[in-house]
Amino acid sequence: MGPVGVLALQGDFREHQQSLERAGAASRQVRKPADLDGISALVIPGGESTTIGRLATLYGLIDPLREVIDGGLPTFGTCAGLIFLAVGTVRDGPPQLGCLDVIVERNAFGRQNDSFEAPLEVEGLEAPFLGVFIRAPQVAKVGPHVEVLATYDGRVVMVRQGNILASAFHPELTDDVRIHDMLLSMLKGD
């Protein structure tokens, strides 16, 4: 099994690599199309969604990313990664991959100074998971094949569609690797 690729254009990619290491998985940074070769899964981190979309376009990653994700590569996007994976945004948004059948609302929980943490009931986890929300989006609309895994205050904050897992919060900013374990279990077909 190859390493987990972590899109390393901008954002908290290093924190995801540390979480994957704690979960027992090797990782490597993805910055150009050739870096996708041989990876067993992909993480698209949080950061600034407009910057990630623009850099992915500049480095020729949009079509190669779509190809591997649509081809079944287990993929996990957090915050800006959720936005980047989505088919659209409520208002004009950055370049998107369109692989995940959701419409997202950017900054749905407020600005940077409105950041917060909250325990979440996540489908498939026995105990609550501490969600770290930083300028977080929410999923405003889900397609028919999208499973809602977690909500906060009635808002959808985590989803799964086939090989794609996405959250509005940042599990990589906690010491809890259970959500990264969910991605790794997708490698085994669970």
Ordered per-residue pLDDT tens for the chain, 190 residues: 799 999 999 999 999 999 999 999 999 999 999 999 999 999 999 988 889 999 999 999 999 999 999 999 999 999 999 999 999 898 877 789 999 999 999 877 877 777 889 999 999 999 999 999 998 899 999 999 999 999 999 999 999 999 999 999 999 999 999 999 999 999 876 5
The distance from CA 86 to its chain's CA centroid, rounded to whole angstroms, is: 10
Rounded to two decimals, the pTM is 0.94
- Catalytically active residues are 79, 170, 172
148 conformational bin, left if phi > 0, alpha if psi -120 to 50, beta if neither = beta
Domains of the chain: 4-187 (3.40.50.880)
CA distances from 172 to 21, 27, 34, 113, 182 (A): 11, 14, 25, 20, 13
Task: List, for residues 133-143, the tens digit of each pLDDT value.
Answer: 998 899 999 99
Helices then strands, each counted (H, E), the chain:
5, 12
In tens, the pLDDT along 91-133 reads 877 789 999 999 999 877 877 777 889 999 999 999 999 999 9
Measured in degrees and rounded to the nearest 5, phi and psi for residue 180 equal: -65, -35
